[in-house]
């Protein structure tokens, strides 16, 4: 029951009305009998929103597009990983300071490592945008792949990501290519990760590359969570690959946020049920 002691958590983004996070977090608070509520704020000015968080004593926040980078100057501190990635998706209080963390990296790693050994593997990552940043940092911060191949259509973007990774992980082996050279890159790869939005609702018929190029029996992960099974994953399943939908990363990043905010074990099955029910309704 909401009363005078109810604590408030929020997601700050623009647009934000499509977000599944309120359903996932409110289900978790309820399951663990925590007197808290999680709401969505459609925010254009992140500096003002942060003043609001401080003034109103909001206990924690998820940060989404377009504020993940812009929020950084307004926080008191960043975790080491968020600082390296240069992007924040979680805000919490610690010792009176407002801190920023990045649970996308954790959520991604948790999801992939449940299905596949990453150490010494060659990984092909499609895309070099915001999510690719968290994914690629997680690969080297939490594990030791043999090689990462970054495929992106924008040369400057993929080279910038490579340089940034190498300045943090000098021993890493990282190559880049464009989408036209995927044929060669995919032959070496044991894991393919799509971080582009190609195939996302309402363009479910799209696929980031020719499905004939998907190797047999590798692991294919798509960060897209709507639809749960993208065309890329459907084609990969036909090639007897292990497939990992983006719902898993979404779930694990939310679970990590819950843990940071409450110090309690997240009720994963309840959070998953809430997420799947949102997807069914959309
Ligand atoms: P972003 O910053 O806009 O980056 C998208 C990347 O994909 C860029 O490198 C972009 O290249 C590339 N791209 C876009 N359209 C392309 C196309 N038609 N062909 C080839 N490359 C293309 O977006 P983001 O924040 O990284 O998000 C990407 C996807 O990840 C979205 O679908 C998002 O929903 C998903 N995501 C999922 C989770 C999760 O928890 N499951 C978390 C974060 C993000 P250009 O710059 O050349 O356009």
Nearest CA owner, ligand 1 atom 20? 153
Q: Classify 7-101+250-281 by CATH class.
A: alpha beta
Query: Ligand 1 pocket, 104 CB below 6 A?
Result: yes
Is residue 95's pLDDT more than 90? Answer: yes
pTM for this one?
0.95
Q: Classify 106-244 by CATH class.
A: alpha beta
Is residue 282's pLDDT more than 90? Answer: no
- Is it true that 7-101+250-281 and 106-244 share their CATH fold? yes
By most ligand atoms within 8 Å of CB, the mutation choice from 153, 159, 162, 276 for ligand 1 is 153
Name the token pair of 102. 């990045």
Residues known to be catalytic? 68
pLDDT tens per residue, range 171-193:
999 999 999 989 889 999 999 99
**Region 109-126: what's the mean pLDDT?**
98
Residue-range domain boundaries for the chain:
7-101+250-281, 106-244
Give the per-residue pLDDT at 1: 83
Mean pLDDT, the chain, whole residue set: 96
Is residue 24's pLDDT more than 90? Answer: yes
Is residue 197's pLDDT more than 90? Answer: yes
Give the per-residue pLDDT at 72: 97
Query: Ligand 1 pocket, 192 CB below 6 A?
Result: no
Query: Ligand 1 pocket, 250 CB below 6 A?
Result: yes
250, with CB counted inside 10 A (0-12, 13-18, 19+), is buried
Distance 121 CA to ligand 1 centre (A): 23
CA-atom Rg of the chain in angstroms: 19
Nearest CA owner, ligand 1 atom 29? 197
**Region 260-265: what's the mean pLDDT?**
98
Distance 184 CA to ligand 1 centre (A): 22
Query: d(Cα 181, Cα 269) in Å, to the nearest integer?
Result: 41
| Atom in ligand 1 nearest the alpha carbon of residue 132 | 26
Query: Which residues, in sequence order, are CB contacts of 263 under 8 Å at separation 6+?
Result: none
């Amino acid at each position: 029951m909401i009363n005078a002691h109810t604590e408030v958590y929020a997601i700050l983004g623009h647009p934000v009305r499509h977000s599944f996070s309120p359903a996932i977090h409110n289900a978790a608070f309820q399951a663990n009998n925590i007197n808290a509520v999680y709401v969505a704020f459609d925010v254009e000015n992140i500096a003002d929103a942060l003043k609001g968080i401080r003034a109103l004593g909001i206990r924690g926040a998820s940060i989404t597009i377009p504020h993940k980078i812009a929020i950084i100057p307004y926080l008191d501190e960043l975790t080491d990983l968020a600082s390296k990635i240069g992007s924040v998706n979680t805000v919490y209080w610690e010792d009176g300071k407002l801190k920023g963390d990045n649970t996308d990296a954790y959520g991604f790693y948790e999801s992939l490592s449940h299905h596949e050994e990453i150490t010494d593997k060659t990984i092909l990552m499609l895309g070099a945008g915001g999510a690719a940043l968290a994914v690629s940092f997680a690969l080297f911060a939490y594990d030791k792949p043999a090689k990462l191949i970054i495929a992106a259509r924008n040369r400057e973007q993929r080279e910038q990501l490579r340089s940034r990774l190498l300045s943090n992980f000098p021993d890493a082996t990282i190559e880049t290519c464009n989408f036209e050279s995927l044929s060669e890159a995919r032959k070496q790869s044991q894991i393919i990760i799509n971080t582009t939005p190609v195939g996302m609702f309402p363009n479910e018929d799209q696929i980031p590359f020719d499905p004939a190029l998907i190797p047999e029996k590798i692991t294919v992960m798509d960060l897209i969570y709507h639809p749960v099974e993208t065309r890329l994953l459907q084609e990969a399943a036909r090639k007897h690959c292990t497939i990992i939908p983006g719902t898993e990363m979404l779930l694990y990043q939310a679970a990590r946020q819950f843990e940071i905010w409450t110090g309690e074990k997240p009720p994963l099955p309840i959070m998953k049920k809430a997420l799947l029910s949102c997807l069914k309704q959309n």
